[in-house]
Structure 1
Amino acid sequence: MNFVKRAAFSLGARRGKTSLLLGILLVVCTLLLGGFLLRDTTTRQEAEAQRRIGVDVTVRGAKLTSHAVDTLGSSPVVQRYNPVLRGVSKPPGLPLVTSNLPKPGRPEGDSDRGQDGLAVNGIRDSGMLLDFSTGRSTIVAGRGLTSQDNARKVVLVSRRLAAKNHLKVGGTVPLASPDGRHTDSFTVAGVYEDSRQDPPQWVAPSELSANQVYAPAAALSALGFGTRPDEAVFKIRSPEQARQLHTEAARLLGTDGFRFDINDKAYRDQVLPLQRVGTFTTALVWLITLSGAVILTLIVTMTIRDRRDELGMLLALGEKKWKLIGQHTVEVAAVLLPALALAALAGQSLAHHAGTMLLVREQHSVTAGQNPADQNPTVSDIRMDIGDLGKVAAIGLGIALVATAVPGIGILRLHPRSILTDTE
C-alpha cells in the first residue's frame, strides 16, 4: 500500500486527533488570512488617506512672491498648493452685509455702516481653504474656484451677500482696487454658505464672514492688489516630505526669510492609526506563523511517538523512511485543505471586526481628549482574492513540512528494532 492511501486510512481511523489537527489548522489559517486581509486593507486605506488628507504646510515671509509660490508648487512632493492674497475692496454701489449691533461709542442708528469694504481673498483653489475643507463653508450654487480659473475674472460670494444684492451664478459684481481708482466686473462662479454665526459684538463689515469674497489671485493682482501673497498653503502626502519642501523654500527665500508651519493634525488623526494597525498586523502574521509551526510540531511529535510500533513495523517491512515522513506530511496537508476552505468563510469577517476594534483603540490614543462622538473609525473595503488564499496555503504547507520533518528526523534515525523495543 502506498503512503498516500495509508495517510487516508490513518486520518479515518484516528478521527479524534484528525479533528484536533483540523481545529488547530483552522485557527491558524483563519488568523493568517485575517491578518493578510487586514494588512492589505489598511495599506490601501493609508494610501487613500494620504492622497485625500495629506499634510498642509503654510509658508509666510516678506520674500514670498507669486513666482516663488509657483516654483515651490511645482515640487514633486507637492500635490496641490494655494497662494492667499488678502485685501479690502470698496466697490461703489454694492451694499454690504453689516452687523445689526450699534458701533461702540456711537448712538444707535449712527454706526457708520457700509463705510468698510469687502474682504477679498486671492486664491488658486477654494477646496484647499480650511473653511471649505472642514465643511464649515459649503458651495450651495455654482462651483468653487480651481487652478483652471487662474486669470479669469470670477468670484465666489456668500449666500447672504448674494441675497442682499440679488446676485446669482453668472451675474456680475464690481470689485475696486485698494485705492479705489480702478473698478472691474467679476462674474459670479459660485455661491457658498458659511455656518458660522456673526460675532456677539459689532465688527466692521470686512470682518464678517458674509463679506468674504474669493477670486483668483492673478485677477486680483491685475486689479492692483500686488503680487506678494500673504501666505501660501502646500498639500503634501506626509510629514516626512515637509523636510524636503523646507529645504527648497530655504533655497528660494533664504534660511531666515520665511515662516514654515506644518499642520498634520488630520494626518495624525486618520493616517497614523492605520499605520499602527498595519504594523501590528504584520507582526501578528509572523507570530501566528511561528506559533502555528511550534504547536503543530508538538502535536505531530506526540502523534509519531504514539505510532512508534507502526513505524517500526513499516520500517521492518522495508518501507522507505522518506515515505513515512511523506505519509505524515500528506496527513497534515489533507487536513489543511478543509481548514483553508473554512478559513476563507470566516477570515473576512474576522478581519473586519478585529481591524475596526484595533483602529478604534489606536485612534482613541491619537485623538485623546477629543469628543468621541466625532470619531467613527472603521476598516472597510476588505477584499479577498486567490492571492491571499495562496499565501495562507503556502504558509500552511510550510508549517506542515516543518511540523513533520523536525520530529520525523529524530525517530527515523533509529533502527527498526530500536523503535520496537524502545519503551521511552
Structure 2
Amino acid sequence: MNFVKRAWLSLVAKKGRTVLLAVITSAIMLFVLAGLLINNAADTAVKNAKANVGATLTLSANREAAFKKSQTSSSSSTKKTVKMSSVKLSDAKKIAKLNNVASYNVAATASVNASSFDAISTTSSSSQMGGGSSTATGDISISGVTDTASSTSFTDGTNKITKGRGITSADKNTNNVAIESELAKQENISVGDTITVKSTSGSKSYKLKVVGIYKTTSSTSTQMGPGTSDPGNTIYSSYTLANTIKGAKYANTADSVTFTVSAPSKISSVKSAGNKVINNSKYTLATNDSSYQTVKSAMSSVKSFSNKIVWLVSIAGTIILALIVILMVRERRHEIGILLSMGERRWKIVGQLFTEMVIILVVGLAVAGIGGKFVGDKLGSQLVSSQASTSAGTISAPGDKNVQMSGNPSGGGGSMSGGSKPSGGMSGSGSTSTSSDTDIDVNLSAIEMVELGGFGLAIMFLSVLIASGGILRLQPKKVLID
C-alpha cells in the first residue's frame, strides 16, 4: 500500500484528530490570509494615492521677503506696512508649461459690503443694513473661482449646491454668483434674483445675479470683519469679478495659484524648475503632497502590522502544528514500528505524515478562502481606525502662511487648463483642512490564495520536519519489544 493511500485511510479512521487539526489549520490560514490581504490592500492604497491623490505646488506672494523689505525701508518712527505682491497670471503660465504639471488653478478674493440685503451677523448686535458697515474689509467675502464643482470645499462635501447651479468657466467676466442657503433664507433670495453689494472704498456698487444657492457645513472663520466671520457670508463668483472689485490694477492677477502635479514623485523636480522661472524675491512656490504622505504613512503602519500578523501567526502555527505532529508520532509509535519492520522506508513514513497535513491544509485553505475577506475587512478597518486616531486628521493648505486675506490660498480659483483639481473655498486667515482617505479595499484574488498556499506548505513542511526527528531515531525492534 502506498503512503498516500495510508495517509487518507489514517485521516478517515481518526476523525476526531482530523477535525481538530482541520480547525487549528483553518484558524492559522485564516489569520495568515487576513494579514496577506491587508498587506496587499495597503500596497494598493499607496499606489492609488500616488496615482490619484496627487500633489500640489502653490505660487503666492513671498510674505517673508516682503516683511524683510518693509523692515529695511521703514524708519523706526513710522509704522511698518507689509506690501504683498499679487501673482501675475503670466508667471503662472510659465510654470504651467513645465513638464508634469497637469493643471493650475487661480484664487482671487475680495471684500464688499452688503447693500440690498443684510449680511449674516454672528454677534448679538443688530444686523448691518444697506451696506452701513464702515469696516475696511466689508461684511461679505467674494471668493473667486472658475468652477465650484472642482473646488475642494465642494468636492469634499463641505459645500453643496442645493438650488440652481454652481459657478463654471462660462461665468468668466460675468457677475453671476452662488450664495449660501442661510443667507438666502434670511433675506428671502431665490435663484434668478439680483442682489447689490458696495465697494468698501468709495461708492461703487455691483449688481450680482444669483445663479445658485449652496449649503455649507463649514464653521471656519474668515476673520475679515464682523460679518464675514460667518461662512454664510461667502459668495462664490468667477475670479474675474473678484479682481474687478479690487480694482483695475488687479486684472490678470491672483492671490495665489495652485498647480496640480501629475505624480507626487515629480513634485521636487517641478518645484525646482518652477523656482527658475519666477522672481523668488516676490513669490514663493510651496509644495503640498500632504495627502499622499498621510496615506503613505497610514498605510505603512497598517502594512507593518499586517506583516507582523503574518509572521507571528506563521511561526506560532508552525510550532503548534509541530507539537501536534510530535504527539501524533508518539501516539503512532507502534504503527510506525510495524511499518519499519516490514521494510518501509523512513522517508515514506515522513511523506505519509506530510501528505496527511497537506490534505488537512487543503481544508484549511478552503475555509480561509471563504472567511478570509470578512476577517480581513474587519481587521483592516480596526487597523485603519487605530492609525487614524494617532495621525493628524487634517492637512493645512499650502500657502496659508504666505497669503493674507486671500481667502483661498490653496486653490479653488480659476482653472486655466481643463481637468484641473482645484482646492477649497473661502478660509481667510484660517486653515483649509482636507481629510485624506486612508480606507483600504480588501479583495481576495488567486494571487493571495497562491501566496497563502505557499505559506501553508512551508508551515506544514517545517512542522513535519521538526517532528520527523523522532521517526528517524526509531528502531523497529525496540519499538515492537516495548
- Report the counterpart of residue 372 of structure 1 in structure 2: none
Map residues 305-384 of structure 1 onto 2, 5 A cutoff.
305-367=330-392, 382-384=442-444
From 64, 83, 105, give the equivalent of 2:87. Answer: 64
2:110 is paired with a residue whose SS is strand
Deviations 1:74-119 (A, max 9, x none): 667666643112335689xx625347799x9xxx999845996964
With over 3 angstroms needed to count, the CA separation of the structure-2 counterparts of 1:410 and 1:252, relative to structure 1, is farther
- Report the counterpart of residue 453 of structure 2 in structure 1: 393
1:253 is paired with a residue whose SS is coil
Map residues 20-169 of structure 1 onto 2, 5 A cutoff.
20-44=20-44, 58-61=58-61, 62=85, 64-72=87-95, 81-88=104-111, 95-98=116-119, 112-113=132-133, 119-127=141-149, 131-132=153-154, 135-146=157-168, 148-149=169-170, 151=172, 153=174, 155-159=176-180, 168-169=190-191
With over 3 angstroms needed to count, the CA separation of the structure-2 counterparts of 1:144 and 1:56, relative to structure 1, is farther
Q: What code does the residue aligned with 2:37 have? A: L
- Hey, what's the Cα distance between the residues in 1 that align with 2:94 and 2:378? 46
CA contact (8 A) 2:121 2:226 kept: no
Q: What code does the residue aligned with 2:109 have? A: R
Deviations 1:371-401 (A, max 9, x none): xxxx9x9967543344433432332123223
With over 3 angstroms needed to count, the CA separation of the structure-2 counterparts of 1:274 and 1:315, relative to structure 1, is same
Displacement of 1:236 in angstroms is 6.2
Structure with the bigger percentage of helix = 1
Deviations 1:245-296 (A, max 9, x none): 5324322325554345566777777764344223311332233233333433
From 207, 226, 237, give the equivalent of 2:251. Answer: 226
Q: Which runs of 5+ in 2 are unaligned?
A: 62-84, 395-434
- Hey, what's the Cα distance between the residues in 1 that align with 2:311 and 2:25? 16
Displacement of 1:30 in angstroms is 1.0
From 271, 277, 281, give the equivalent of 1:252. Answer: 277
With over 3 angstroms needed to count, the CA separation of the structure-2 counterparts of 1:150 and 1:250, relative to structure 1, is farther
Q: What code does the residue aligned with 1:192 have? A: Y
Name which of structure 1's ranges 388-397 and 314-323 shifts more when overlaid on structure 2.
Answer: 314-323
CA contact (8 A) 1:294 1:403 kept: yes
With over 3 angstroms needed to count, the CA separation of the structure-2 counterparts of 1:407 and 1:338, relative to structure 1, is same
- Report the counterpart of residue 283 of structure 1 in structure 2: 308
CA contact (8 A) 2:113 2:198 kept: yes
- Report the counterpart of residue 403 of structure 1 in structure 2: 463
With over 3 angstroms needed to count, the CA separation of the structure-2 counterparts of 1:6 and 1:76, relative to structure 1, is farther
- Hey, what's the Cα distance between the residues in 2 that align with 1:214 and 1:101? 20
CA contact (8 A) 2:56 2:267 kept: no
With over 3 angstroms needed to count, the CA separation of the structure-2 counterparts of 1:401 and 1:182, relative to structure 1, is same
Q: What code does the residue aligned with 1:299 have? A: I
Query: What TM-score, normalized to structure 2?
Result: 0.64
With over 3 angstroms needed to count, the CA separation of the structure-2 counterparts of 1:378 and 1:26, relative to structure 1, is farther
With over 3 angstroms needed to count, the CA separation of the structure-2 counterparts of 1:81 and 1:404, relative to structure 1, is same
Pair 1:421-2:478 in alignment: yes
CA contact (8 A) 2:119 2:183 kept: no
Deviations 1:308-341 (A, max 9, x none): 4544443443434443333122100111122223
**Paired residue total:** 407
Let me know the Cα RMSD of the aligned residues.
5.0
With over 3 angstroms needed to count, the CA separation of the structure-2 counterparts of 1:67 and 1:303, relative to structure 1, is farther
With over 3 angstroms needed to count, the CA separation of the structure-2 counterparts of 1:249 and 1:406, relative to structure 1, is same
CA contact (8 A) 1:60 1:260 kept: yes
Displacement of 1:28 in angstroms is 1.0
- Report the counterpart of residue 216 of structure 1 in structure 2: 238
2:254 is paired with a residue whose SS is coil
2:390 is paired with a residue whose SS is helix
Q: What code does the residue aligned with 1:388 have? A: E
2:276 is paired with a residue whose SS is helix
Q: What code does the residue aligned with 1:326 have? A: G
With over 3 angstroms needed to count, the CA separation of the structure-2 counterparts of 1:198 and 1:20, relative to structure 1, is closer
1:319 is paired with a residue whose SS is coil
Q: What code does the residue aligned with 1:158 have? A: I
2:348 is paired with a residue whose SS is helix
Q: Which runs of 5+ in 1 are unaligned?
A: 370-374
1:86 is paired with a residue whose SS is strand
Q: What code does the residue aligned with 1:82 have? A: N
- Hey, what's the Cα distance between the residues in 2 that align with 1:27 and 1:142? 56
Query: What TM-score, normalized to structure 1?
Result: 0.72
2:87 is paired with a residue whose SS is coil
Deviations 1:141-196 (A, max 9, x none): 233335x5484636332146667888654667789999999999876442224567
- Hey, what's the Cα distance between the residues in 1 that align with 2:45 and 2:29? 24
CA contact (8 A) 1:136 1:195 kept: yes
Deviations 1:200-259 (A, max 9, x none): x99477777555433333576689432221112345699776544532432232555434
- Hey, what's the Cα distance between the residues in 2 that align with 1:89 and 1:280? 53
Q: What code does the residue aligned with 2:361 have? A: L
Of all paired residues, the percent bearing the same amino acid is 23
Q: What code does the residue aligned with 2:320 have? A: I
Q: What code does the residue aligned with 1:85 have? A: A
